[in-house]
């Protein structure tokens, strides 16, 4: 998906420029300015020279053409140069019509303000500097009509009024930021597909917000009590979902945060100013600065902006933007706070889709569970009763009794596993912490009993995975053991299953080389390699002692 990079600071601007509505408003203001200036000139001047009339009519026709282009939808791209032409035209009329110099200075406000809204405060201030230099050039030009008709007192008045034009850029800046946020969020609503789920939506949204704020670290902290994630996006590490422990710590540090935007900056010991600022008329809660300092330390930033995600008078999480530098823009956090309800609407859509999918999946799991209970488990129960009946007919001193008892135990284990699976389907509980290790242990024990291969397993008592991950790893273990049975003469196998902060490790070794007296031929388990690749993992086959085979599989969590 294409990423719209929107810079809200300085002279860097978006490639998109102002919205269609702003461009049409600018075109209308340009026509109104041209018509009013022409009307006032005709009313106050008895005779108008040809150059002045030519400049007025040309500007009127050009502004009317731009309005027609915007109104008819023929404009394909935004451009900054019309605002520069507006400023140059105002200064030119000021030179040709010195009596209206005071009024023409006022006409510089509209191009400066609209350029600031569309392209940022840097462009607005640069346009003001351009107009100021042109006006000073007119004043010092001895051949200028403005120089001959106005005195130094009038010159100072013109310069004083012109010096106030930069205020238009500063006043228009918050409005420009607000419009840009709304434009970005409107585009995001059209680009983000809520059907991809809440995690994917929050990840893409975090990337867009980091680009928009130009922050070093961005965190989207949603309520963990509702199963929502805490997404962290950094310039160095990219986007990732915070662990349960980190999510809980972020929520704990934000529990005292008031329902208003706030900023925190780490100050040196000699700076006595407050490190925390609330962008609202609210008292500073006790201990908030300490919590924000720990929050900034957790995210490894120096400056931190916090925006509560509030809608319908309820708080639904926080948005955090952190910066490594000493200073961070303030207007960005205020503009984002105004756009927070729209931002939250994007998240709510993905949440509702997840809820609908979970409810639908729950009904389907319950239906499949009932069908399996009524059909698939019945033959296994019949086999269980038949094996137990045969075992009762064999005397205890018969050597075959031990083998039949082992077979009965194996069938009972499979029936219990099938019942657990059906229970999980009907309740919707993934049992991620309890299914993988018991299932692998049962599979190893069954493999040893059926094929006479001694298998030793080393794994923790519990291994936290989802049911989908547990199922995949279980099938990998089963496939590795079957490959050893079919393609080698191994009599012993060692299986190790472990997990760390970011990876699941499956290591399988056999003694086929020792049994043959030589290293087995190279073998590439194609289906196993494909299964590992689907989980974005790696598979490596080596011979540590130059004789026996070791297979190492690593699956990222």
Q: How many domains does the chain have?
A: 4
d(Cα 214, Cα 327) in Å, to the nearest integer? 13
If DSSP states are collapsed to H, E and C, what string results for 7-33?
CCCCCCCCCCCCCHHHHHHHHHHHHHH
Collect the ranges in the chain with pLDDT lower than 70.
Answer: 1-19, 44-47, 75-78, 98-103, 105, 135-136, 138-190, 326-332, 361-378, 380, 413-414, 417-435, 464, 466-467, 501
For 266, the 3-state DSSP assignment is coil
259 and 351: one domain? yes
Q: Are the C-beta atoms of residues 316 and 351 closer than 8 Å to each other?
A: no
pLDDT in tens, 137-192: 766 665 555 545 555 566 666 666 666 666 666 666 666 666 666 666 666 666 77
How far apart CA 42 and CA 38 sit, in angstroms, is 6
Give me the pLDDT at residue 156, please. Answer: 65
416 and 447 inside one domain:
no
Residue listed under structure tokens 């756009």: 339
In this structure, the answer to whether residues 303 and 390 fall within a common structural domain is: no
pLDDT in tens, 339-361: 777 778 878 888 887 777 777 76
**Among 225, 247, 245, 239, which Cα is nearest to 315's?**
225
Query: Does a structural domain hold residue 2?
Result: no
Residues 277 and 389 in one domain: no
Q: Please tell me the predicted confidence (pLDDT) of residue 14.
A: 39
User: What is each CA distance from 162 to 24, 38, 86, 239, 447, in whole angstroms?
Assistant: 26, 21, 15, 47, 89
User: Is the distance from CB of 431 to CB of 468 less than 8 angstroms?
Assistant: no
511 Ramachandran zone, left/alpha/beta (phi>0; psi -120 to 50): alpha
Residue-by-residue DSSP string for 347-384: HHHHHHHHHHHHHHHHHHHHHHHHHHHHTTHHHHHHHH
Domain stop point among 293, 325, 357: 357
Question: Are 67 and 89 part of one and the same domain?
Answer: yes
DSSP letter (8 states) at residue 345:
H
Identify which of 276, 265, 263 has the alpha carbon closest to the alpha carbon of residue 332: 263
Does residue 500 belong to any structural domain of this protein? yes
Residues 306 and 382 in one domain: no
Report pLDDT for 5: 31
Residues 531 and 411 in one domain: no
What residue numbers bound the domain in which 523 lies?
431-557
Residue 232 is predicted with a pLDDT of 92
Task: Based on the fold, state whether residues 170 and 203 are members of the same structural domain.
Answer: no
Q: Within a domain: residue 12?
A: no
CATH code of the domain containing 472: 3.30.565.10
Judge if 443 and 555 occupy the same domain: yes
Closest alpha carbon to 524 in 507, 505, 539: 539
What stretch of H or E contains 314? strand 314-323
Task: Note the pLDDT tens digit of each residue in 209-240.
Answer: 888 778 889 999 998 888 888 999 988 888 88
Q: What is the reported pLDDT for 430?
A: 47
- Boundary of a domain, candidates 300, 322, 357: 357
Taking the C-alpha atoms of residue 128 and residue 105, their distance in angstroms, rounded to an integer, is 11
Q: What is the DSSP string of 236-249?
A: TTEEEEPPHHHHHH
Residue that finishes a domain, picked among 301, 324, 357: 357
pTM, whole model, 2 decimals? 0.52
CATH number at residue 343: 3.30.450.40
Closest among 233, 227, 176 to 205, alpha carbons compared: 233
Same domain (yes/no): 382, 479? no
For residue 369, being part of any structural domain is answered with no
Regarding whether 226 and 138 lie in a shared domain, the answer is no
Is residue 302 assigned to a domain?
Answer: yes
Burial degree of 52 (CB within 10 A; 0-12, 13-18, 19+): middle
Residue 362, in any domain of the structure? no
What is the predicted pLDDT for the residue at 520? 78
Whether residue 136 is contained in a domain is answered as yes
Whether 5 maps to a domain, the answer reads no
**Kind of pairing between the strands at 454-458 and 492-499:** parallel
CA 428 vs CA 108, 358, 364, 365, 557: distances in Å? 66, 9, 10, 7, 21
Same domain, 197 and 120: no
Q: What b-and-e string marks burial along 247-278, b requiring 16 or more CB atoms within 10 Å of the CB?
A: bebbbebbeebeeebbbbbeeeeeeeeebbbb
Model confidence pLDDT, tens digit, residues 414-442: 677 666 666 665 555 544 445 678 778 88
Burial of 468 (0-12, 13-18, 19+ CB in 10 A): exposed
């Amino acid at each position: 998906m294409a990423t719209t990079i929107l810079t809200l600071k300085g002279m860097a601007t978006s490639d998109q420029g102002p919205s269609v509505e702003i461009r049409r408003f600018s075109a209308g203001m340009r026509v109104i300015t041209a018509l009013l200036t022409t009307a006032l000139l005709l009313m106050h001047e008895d005779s108008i020279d040809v150059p002045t009339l030519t400049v007025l009519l040309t500007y009127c026709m050009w502004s009317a053409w731009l309005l027609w282009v915007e109104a008819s939808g023929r404009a394909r791209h935004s451009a900054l140069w019309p605002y520069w032409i507006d400023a140059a035209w105002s200064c030119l009329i000021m030179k040709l019509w010195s009596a209206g110099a005071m009024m023409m200075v006022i006409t510089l406000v509209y191009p400066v303000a609209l350029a600031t809204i569309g392209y940022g405060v840097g462009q607005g201030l640069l346009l003001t500097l351009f107009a100021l230099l042109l006006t000073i050039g007119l004043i010092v030009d001895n051949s200028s009509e403005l120089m001959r008709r106005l005195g130094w007192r009038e010159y100072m008045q013109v310069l004083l009024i012109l010096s106030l034009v930069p205020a238009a850029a500063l006043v228009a800046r918050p409005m420009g930021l607000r419009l840009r946020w709304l434009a970005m969020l409107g585009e995001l609503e059209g680009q983000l597909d809520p059907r991809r789920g809440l995690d994917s939506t929050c990840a893409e949204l975090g990337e867009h917000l980091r680009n928009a704020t130009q922050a070093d670290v961005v965190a989207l902290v949603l309520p963990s009590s509702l199963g929502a994630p805490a997404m962290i996006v950094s310039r160095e590490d990219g986007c990732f979902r915070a662990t349960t422990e980190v999510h809980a710590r972020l929520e704990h540090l934000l529990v005292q945060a008031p329902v208003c935007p706030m900023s925190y900056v780490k100050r040196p010991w000699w700076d006595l100013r407050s490190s925390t600022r609330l962008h609202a008329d609210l008292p500073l809660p006790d201990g908030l600065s300490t919590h924000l300092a720990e929050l900034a330390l957790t995210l490894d930033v120096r400056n931190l902006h916090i925006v509560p995600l509030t809608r319908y008078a309820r708080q639904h999480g926080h948005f955090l933007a952190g910066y490594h530098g000493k200073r961070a823009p303030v207007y960005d956090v205020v503009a984002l706070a105004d756009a927070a309800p729209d931002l939250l609407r994007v998240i709510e859509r993905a949440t509702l889709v997840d809820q609908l999918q979970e409810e639908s999946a729950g009904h389907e799991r319950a239906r499949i569970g009932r069908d399996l209970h009524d059909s698939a488990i019945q033959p296994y129960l019949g086999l269980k009763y038949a094996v137990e009946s045969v075992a009762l007919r064999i005397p205890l001193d018969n050597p075959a009794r031990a083998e039949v008892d082992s077979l009965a135990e194996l069938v009972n284990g499979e029936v219990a596993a099938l019942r657990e699976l059906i229970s999980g389907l009907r309740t919707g509980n993934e049992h991620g912490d309890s299914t993988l290790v018991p299932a692998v242990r049962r599979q190893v024990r069954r493999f040893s009993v059926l094929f006479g291969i001694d298998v030793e397993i080393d794994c923790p008592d519990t291994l936290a995975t989802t049911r989908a991950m547990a199922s995949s790893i279980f099938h990998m273990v089963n496939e590795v053991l079957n490959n050893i049975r079919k393609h080698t003469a191994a009599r012993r196998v060692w299986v190790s299953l472990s997990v760390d902060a970011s990876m699941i490790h499956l290591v399988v070794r056999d003694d086929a080389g020792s049994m043959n007296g030589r290293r087995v031929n190279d073998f590439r388990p194609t289906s196993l390699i494909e299964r590992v690749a689907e989980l974005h993992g790696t598979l490596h086959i080596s011979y540590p002692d130059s004789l026996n085979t070791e297979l190492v599989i690593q699956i990222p969590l």
